[in-house]
Amino acid sequence: MSDFETASYFHKRCLDISVEYKYLEGEAKAFKGLGIAEENVMNKEMAKEHLETALGKASEDPKLEFLVKDISGHLVRVY
């Protein structure tokens, strides 16, 4: 549960597959996961970067409004 290196690897793989299949929601969720993992190892700059990217991806599709709200909450915490 606190193995953030493995979590980062998992979310990176999810990101790679989502990009390959052009799955926007998957990309946003993967970037969110990467951001949370970086936050937990106190790498605030990378966390902010990943969460901002996730927010941008989620904002591209109006159906992902629920995800925009979730990511925004995480981003506010990192700021």
Rounded Cα distance between 48 and 50, Å, is: 6
The pLDDT tens digits for 5-54 are 999 999 999 999 999 999 999 999 999 999 999 999 999 999 999 999 99
Rounded Cα distance between 19 and 26, Å, is: 8
Whether the pTM exceeds 0.95: the reply is: no
Confidence of residue 1 (pLDDT cuts 50, 70, 90): low
For the chain, the domain total comes to: 1
The pLDDT tens digits for 60-77 are 999 999 999 999 999 999
In this structure, what CATH number is given to the domain that contains residue 32?
1.25.40.10
Alpha-carbon 61 to chain mean position: 15
What is the structure's pLDDT at 2?
A: 78
Q: Residue 34 sits in which domain range? A: 4-78
